[in-house]
Amino acid sequence: MAKAAESSGEPGTTSPRPLFAGLSDISISQDIPVEGEITIPMRSHIREFDSSTLNESVQNTIMRDLKAVGKKFMHVLYPRKSNTLLRDWDLWGPLILCVTLALMLQRSSVDSEKDGGPQFAEVFVIVWFGAVTITLNSKLLGGNISFFQSLCVLGYCILPLTVAMLVCRLVLLAEQGPINFMVRLFVVIVMFTWSIVASTAFLADSQPPNRKALAIYPVFLFYFVISWMILTFTPQ
Amino acid sequence: MATTAAPAGGARSGAGPEWGGFEENIQGGGSAVIDMENMDDTSGSSFEDMGELHQRLREEEVDADAAAAEEEDGEFLGMKGFKGQLSRQVADQMWQAGKRQASRAFSLYANIDILRPYFDVEPAQVRSRLLESMIPIKMVNFPQKIAGELYGPLMLVFTLVAILLHGMKTSDTIIREGTLMGTAIGTCFGYWLGVSSFIYFLAYLCNAQITMLQMLALLGYGLFGHCIVLFITYNIHLHALFYLFWLLVGGLSTLRMVAVLVSRTVGPTQRLLLCGTLAALHMLFLLYLHFAYHKVVEGILDTLEGPNIPPMQRVPRDIPAALPAARLPATVLNATAKAVMVTLQSH
């Protein structure tokens, strides 16, 4: 290769020039074609791996994702100290829960001929920006949890509050009165506590032990605001 | 052809190894190299030459100089078939260099670790600072210490937002929680950031020894008094009680902030200006939150749904001020019970 470089350089000059030094360096870059040939088969090899999941049917993909989401729902409903939510995090579950919650909180405005759009967007924004703020806070306090893992946990722990929302909607179909309100209050308080316990079980381990309270307090505020929105929801 | 090829080849070969070396410098973590290359007003260092060569190289590639490139390649490597691969490799390496620069700039500016030292607190510290924010210190002869942390103030602002929402919901039925949420967040954060900046600007004019971070922390902890007052008076709607708490609790937290600022300012006029402004803004904000904020909220709701709900549910109950002290507790209980019943009935 060096010979080829020398021959392609200045023909007929044998005196040493700085150009030779440059040429010899360029001769190293003459490995480029060889590199290229070596890397190209590698690329196609990787592409073959990708196509193994690309080629499966859509139903398989959806069922696989739904099963993963369902498994994580079970982990939230029965919170144990486990790593499942943290290890394979995904944001499908939080998205489904957030959209469901926002849709259910929106219905009242549609009934009263107001534009229900902003309310959906507000709930969406509150949930996601609240989760982002809590994540940033826990990272800044010294937690060793990644950004998306924390978003995943906080999103999944909205599940009890979504269940509370469903129950409240059903209860509101009955006759309204103080008993109605008491029942809904009780349900929302229980689910609020469940959300906090579930998120604490997953998040507390990632914080330094003496700062757990500092990291949990904003989670408390976040779920408090969501619970308050659910409790004071009245279909007109 | 030899002469034309030589300088071009020289430029290429000159750029090549230096360019390759440039790559190695990036890998070595020399961010200075990248910055110098991107700056327009580089001093006459060799990096500037490399930057220019890099730029010229890029332009050469971008221009449809296929013939010259082909000629150069032909001259250079002696095999025309490598032209495509060389240009692809060149493009690939420039893409890598650009990507590395972008990710480095991103990690430099979007790094939240800049804020990490301000969140380095223990729960015991936060608790003690919350209590201290209500205790004015008389020692104004030398500057008092202000803890420069942002966790406490941020959490207090969020708590104030939550309390404002809670207060709105105990008054009446809410349809558009969203707009009210936005208003609450905007009010609280706007007050904290806006008034801090304004007082910092005044402090700069009055030559006070305080930094922006310390001002943010001071005002943030001053909101603790507001949180307490609003939490109590949103549940017990009694004007006299509110005025009492406004003076007592609000006054204490304002006095604390004023004492700290006085200890850091020299000169009576400056002290008066700075502390008078802060005291006025702080106390008036609490008044606004209790009274006018309700009106703003009701204004929003009125425009949305029309005033078809009896006013008793909407306005904080007015207890006649001229009432003998003995009957006050009973009146308070009656008023609270009425408020609860009305709230229950409305649901």
For A130, the domain range is: 91-107+116-232
Q: What DSSP designation does A9 have?
A: S
Q: Is residue A12 part of a domain?
A: no
How far is the alpha carbon of B148 from chain A, nearest alpha carbon, in Å? 15
Q: What DSSP designation does B64 have?
A: T
Which of A1, A3, A7, A8 is best to mutate for the B interface (most B CBs within 10 A)? A8
Break chain B into its structural domains and give their ranges: 87-120, 139-305
Annotate B96-129 with b (16+ C-beta within 10 A) or e (fewer): ebeeebeeeeeeeeeeeeeeeebbebeeeebeeb
What are the C-alpha distances in Å from B154 to residues A78, A127, A146, B5, B214?
Answer: 32, 18, 22, 66, 13
Query: How confident is the model at residue A36, as a pLDDT?
Result: 44
Q: Is residue A172 part of a domain?
A: yes
Question: In this predicted model, which residue has the larger pLDDT, B317 or A124?
Answer: A124
**Residue A224 CB burial class (10 angstroms; 0-12, 13-18, ≥19):** middle
Which of B23, B177, B301, B345 is best to mutate for the A interface (most A CBs within 10 A)? B177
Q: Can you read off the two tokens belonging to residue A135?
A: 């994540």
Task: Write the DSSP string, A120-160.
Answer: HHHHHHHHHHHHHHHHHHHHHTT----HHHHHHHHHHTTHH
Q: Can you read off the two tokens belonging to residue A146?
A: 């990644």
How far is the alpha carbon of B184 from chain A, nearest alpha carbon, in Å? 12
Query: How confident is the model at residue B256, as a pLDDT?
Result: 94
Query: How confident is the model at residue A54, as a pLDDT?
Result: 77
pLDDT tens digits in sequence order for chain B, 347 residues long: 444 444 444 444 444 444 444 444 444 444 444 444 444 444 444 554 565 666 666 666 666 555 555 555 545 555 556 678 889 999 999 999 999 888 887 776 667 778 888 888 889 999 999 999 999 888 878 888 888 899 999 999 999 999 988 877 655 544 455 567 778 888 999 999 999 999 999 999 999 999 999 999 999 999 999 999 999 988 887 888 889 999 999 999 999 999 999 999 999 999 999 999 999 999 999 998 888 666 655 666 666 655 554 444 444 544 444 444 445 454 445 545 555 555 555 54
CA dihedral B303, B309, B313, B318 (to 10 degrees): 80
Candidate from A8, A118, A214 with C-beta closest to B78: A8
Q: Give the chain A residue nearest B115 (alpha carbons).
A: A140
Q: Can you read off the two tokens belonging to residue A46?
A: 């990787």
User: Which residues of chain B are within 8 Å of residue A232 when distances are taken between CB atoms?
Assistant: 169, 173-174, 177, 347
Model pTM above 0.90: no
What distance in Å separates the CA atoms of residue A114 and residue B141, rounded to the nearest whole number? Answer: 60
What are the C-alpha distances in Å from B2 to residues A34, A67, B14, B130, B333?
Answer: 28, 69, 17, 81, 104
A90 in Cβ contact with A151 (< 8 Å):
no
Angle CA B325–B328–B329, to nearest 5: 120
* Closest CA relative to residue A166, chosen from A100, A94, A108: A100
Q: B198-239: per-residue pLDDT in tens?
A: 999 999 999 999 999 999 999 999 999 999 999 998 888 788
Q: Which of the four pLDDT bands, split at 50, 70 and 90, describes residue A4?
A: very low
- Whether chain B has a CB inside 8 Å of the CB on A3: the answer is no
Q: Of A4-18, A76-90, A148-162, B101-115, where does mean pLDDT reach its minimum?
A: A4-18
How far is the alpha carbon of A19 from chain B, nearest alpha carbon, in Å? 7
CA dihedral A77, A78, A80, A83 (to 10 degrees): -50
Chain A, 108 to 167: residues with Cβ < 8 Å from chain B are 108-109, 112, 114, 118-119, 121-123, 126, 136-137, 139-142
Report, as an integer, the average pLDDT of A150-161: 92
Indicate the number of domains in chain A.
Answer: 1
**Residue A166 CB burial class (10 angstroms; 0-12, 13-18, ≥19):** middle
Annotate B308-341 with b (16+ C-beta within 10 A) or e (fewer): eeeeeebebbebeeeeeeeeeeeebeebeeebee
Q: Give the chain B residue nearest A214 (alpha carbons).
A: B123
B104 in Cβ contact with B25 (< 8 Å):
no
H-helix or E-strand containing A117? helix A117-140
How many CB atoms neighbour CB A41 within 10 A?
9
Candidate from A214, A224, A234 with C-beta closest to B151: A214
User: Which residues of chain A are within 8 Å of residue B85 when distances are taken between CB atoms?
Assistant: 32-33, 36
Q: Give the chain B residue nearest A13 (alpha carbons).
A: B2
CB pairs under 8 A between A and B: 127
Q: Give the chain A residue nearest B21 (alpha carbons).
A: A25
Are residues B178 and A121, on separate chains, in Cβ contact within 8 Å?
A: yes
What distance in Å separates the CA atoms of residue A217 and residue B158, rounded to the nearest whole number? Answer: 11
Q: Which residue has the tokens 């943290």?
A: A86
How far is the alpha carbon of B214 from chain A, nearest alpha carbon, in Å? 19
Are residues A33 and B175, on separate chains, in Cβ contact within 8 Å?
A: no
Q: Can you read off the two tokens belonging to residue A42?
A: 């590698």
What distance in Å separates the CA atoms of residue B155 and residue B121, rounded to the nearest whole number? Answer: 13
Q: Is residue A43 part of a domain?
A: no
B9 in Cβ contact with B75 (< 8 Å):
yes
Q: A38-63: per-residue pLDDT in tens?
A: 444 444 444 445 566 778 888 988 89
